[in-house]
Amino acid sequence: MQGICLLGATGSIGQSTLDIIAQHPDKFVLIGASANESVVKMADICHRFKPQRVVMGSEKARDQLALLCVGLPISFEWGDDALDSIASDSAVDQVMAAIMGFAGLKPTLAGIRAGKRTLLANKESLVTAGKLFMDEVARHNVVLLPIDSEHNAIYQSLPQTIHGAHKKDISKILLTASGGPFRSWSLDEMVSVTPEQACKHPNWSMGQKISIDSASLMNKGLELIEACWLFDVTPNDIEVVVHPESIVHSMVSYRDGSVIAQMGNPDMKIPIAYGMTWPNRIETQVPPLSLVDVACLNFESPDISRFPNLQLAADAWFMGGTAMAVLNAVNEVAVAAFLNRKIAFLDIAKVNAQVLNSANIVPVNTLEDVFESDLYARRLAEDIISLGDF
């Protein structure tokens, strides 16, 4: 029986994780769970799974939740310290790090430092503090399993007994991208994109922020950076391939000409279950892939002129230091501005580029360097957006 701490329980990853826990009550028990302000959704989780501890993003949300869960033997808590505490709780064996954005970094590190198996669905942790993050994983001898479907696929396509070794045998990592809802749109058509259109991903059901990132290909840019840290490579070792069907989740090309791919229907329960049970596998109730029904798989190169965020991510990697944290921060601000209709869809990449190219990039020696660069980039982005100077 594995005790699970679910950071970000009310999001799409959290809900899929709960589905796996519900399907296998003999293997998993929910020990801790967190959400920001989604009180009603969390109340349902509390009544269904009865975790020992629940953390909300504010005192008000905590109090509202407690009123909806009177009589349940649950400790209702709130705030950053409580979030770190549930991730490092002695009853927890695995931490599902599914808090989206920069906010997920600190509690994920708390779980790692407590020696918990870490299931990483928060790409921003690696993007903003990659070296520090991976150093902590090595220092505490933690099993780190990527949950993003693409990185999970790469992990499965590498030799498991020598994972991370024999890099000389690998020719290229092929990171697939669906292309998002605007894959075939011209720049002129993309000028008037609305938040509602950008949130309609053709294959995946995701939250607003990650849906916008997918539409702008920033999500793939962040995944490229994440893959560099996870698999100890550079952007030169990774080729992004647009694959609109989202059936091949990623591939590894070897020097002998072999290409090993992981395929499956687009459902996050597959990589989540793999992470929770690795090196074994369990039933997920996801329908098996029928290649006869799929019939045709398409692949193409991404168009950087229409989706410049992908190149910005590679640029940030090579700039090093706080550049990746800066890019992540400005993008979060720009996406929020687009969702609030303060800027246009194509302006997201313009704001990202202006901040990245004008920011003061410094080495990352401590987490404070990351936090300071994050705040600095957010303020710079907000100023640029308020002035319309992009």
Token pair 């991208």: residue: 177
Q: Give the integer Cα–Cα distance in Å for 78 and 235.
A: 39
Q: Does 90 appear as a known binding residue?
A: no
**Is the separation of the CB atoms in 92 and 5 below 8 Å?**
yes
Distance CA 86, CA 32 (A): 6
- Asked if 42 and 77 count as a contact pair (C-beta separation under 8 A), the reply is no
What is the β-pairing status of strands 170-177 and 248-254? Answer: antiparallel
State yes or no: 17 annotated in a binding site. no
* 81 Cβ contact partners less than 8 Å away, ≥ 6 residues apart: none
Do the annotations mark residue 13 as ligand-binding? Answer: yes
CA pseudo-torsion sign 284, 158, 6, 216? negative
3-state secondary structure of 298: coil
| The two three-digit tokens of residue 372, written as one number | 């300071």
239 labelled ligand-binding:
no
Residue 149 marked ligand-binding:
yes
Phi-psi region of 246 (alpha: psi -120 to 50; beta: other; left: phi over 0): left
Token reading at 301 = 């190169």
Q: Is 283 annotated as a binding residue?
A: no
The answer to whether 162 is a known ligand-binding residue is no
The answer on whether 383 is annotated among ligand-binding residues is no
Q: Is 214 annotated as a binding residue?
A: yes
Antiparallel, parallel or unpaired: β 53-56 and 28-34: parallel
Write out the two tokens for 151.
């990185």
47 is in an annotated binding site: no
Q: In sequence order, what are the residues at sequence separation of 6 or more whose Cβ sits closer than 8 angstroms to the Cβ of residue 63?
A: 76
256 is in an annotated binding site: no
**What does each C-alpha distance from 92 to 3, 104, 111, 121, 149 come to in angstroms?**
5, 17, 9, 17, 24
Is 180 marked as a binding-site residue?
A: no
- Annotated binding residue 207: yes
Q: Which residue is it, tokens 């793939």?
A: 220
Q: Check whether 79 is labelled as a binding-site residue.
A: no
Q: Tell me if 313 sits within 8 A of 234, measured CB to CB.
A: no
For residue 265, what is the DSSP state?
-
- 58 assigned to a ligand binding site: no
Count other C-beta atoms under 10 Å from residue 205's C-beta: 12
Q: Give the annotated binding-site residues.
A: 10-13, 122-124, 148-150, 178, 201, 207, 214, 219-220, 223
Task: Could you list the residues known to form a binding site for NADPH, using ranges.
Answer: 10-13, 122, 124, 207
Annotation: binding site for 1-deoxy-D-xylulose 5-phosphate: 123, 149-150, 178, 201, 214, 219-220, 223
Which parts are annotated binding residues for Mn(2+)? 148, 150, 223
